[in-house]
Amino acid sequence: MPKNKISGAEFLPHIAYDSVIFGFSGDRLKILIMEYHNTGFFALPGGFVGVHENLDDAVRRGLNERTGLDKIYLEQFYTFGSTTRFQPEVMETILTANNVNTTNMQWLLDRFISVAYYALINYKDVVPKPDALSDSCRWYDVNELPKLIFDHNLIVEKAMEVLRQSLERKLVGMNLLPEKFTMAELQRVYEAILGTKLRRTTFQRKIRHEKRYHGKAHKAPYLYSFG
């Protein structure tokens, strides 16, 4: 949508979403971050929910616009509504830097409660695309993030906490790896998420014992897939 034609009447008032989009580069866990034009401001990809749009559909629409992908693992994990996230001067700076007349965009300066999601995607499948207000949308190492606007650093911290907890009950690795992978690649995903090295023999024994993947090894040496 053109930056000067964002009508508040098209969206639910005071509700936004923010997405923590994780990708795995082979040895590092990455997150997509956007930089707003002429501001030095960095942020998570996010957006608003159409009046006649389901929340999940709005988030998937936004993810498709930033990544070009349709089938993405997506999970809602928290809602952020602290009064400290209300910083209208930040949005006003972003709009002014993009030559947007703030008189007609006052709804963007209102207080928003944000529903946060995390997404897991195959890093190699994505060519990130910035939105109309941004210069760039690119991958950053999860341990080397710039300072983000509003409470977005806190949102990332919470997403990491939930992702680590999910390792104990979900096959999150399958969404960060290609269809066929080695056990070593799976171990590197776990290490990147947990932020610590794991003993190879202990990891493989634990994974096989708990049957965290399905299927069987393929004829190509030591390649696995999730069933």
Rounded distance, CA 143 to CA 126, Å? 20
**Other residues' Cβ atoms within 10 Å of the Cβ of residue 27:** 10
Q: Is residue 23 within 8 Å of 175, Cβ to Cβ?
A: no
Rounded distance, CA 22 to CA 29, Å? 7
The sign one gets for the Cα dihedral 181, 197, 75, 130 is negative
Q: What percent of the chain has a predicted confidence (pLDDT) above 90?
A: 66
Rounded distance, CA 149 to CA 115, Å? 16
Residue 127 Cα distances to 23, 116, 188, angstroms: 12, 22, 23
Rounded distance, CA 203 to CA 197, Å? 10
Q: What average pLDDT does range 91-100 have in this prediction?
A: 94
Q: 68's torsion region: left (phi>0), alpha (psi -120 to 50) or beta?
A: left
Domains of the chain: 3-166 (3.90.79.10), 180-224 (no CATH)
Q: Is residue 21 within 8 Å of 119, Cβ to Cβ?
A: yes
The answer on pLDDT for 32 being more than 50 is: yes
> What is the model's pLDDT at position 1?
44
Rounded distance, CA 70 to CA 191, Å? 27
Per-residue pLDDT tens over the stretch 164-200:
998 866 667 667 888 788 888 889 999 999 999 999 8
* Tokens encoding 126: 């994505």
Per-residue pLDDT tens over the stretch 113-145:
999 999 999 888 899 999 999 999 999 999 999
Phi, psi of 64, deg, nearest 5: -65, -40
DSSP 170: S
Biggest alpha carbon distance in the chain? 64
Rounded distance, CA 68 to CA 62, Å? 10
pTM: 0.88
Tell me whether strands 73-80 and 11-24 are parallel, antiparallel or unpaired: unpaired
Rounded distance, CA 182 to CA 186, Å? 7
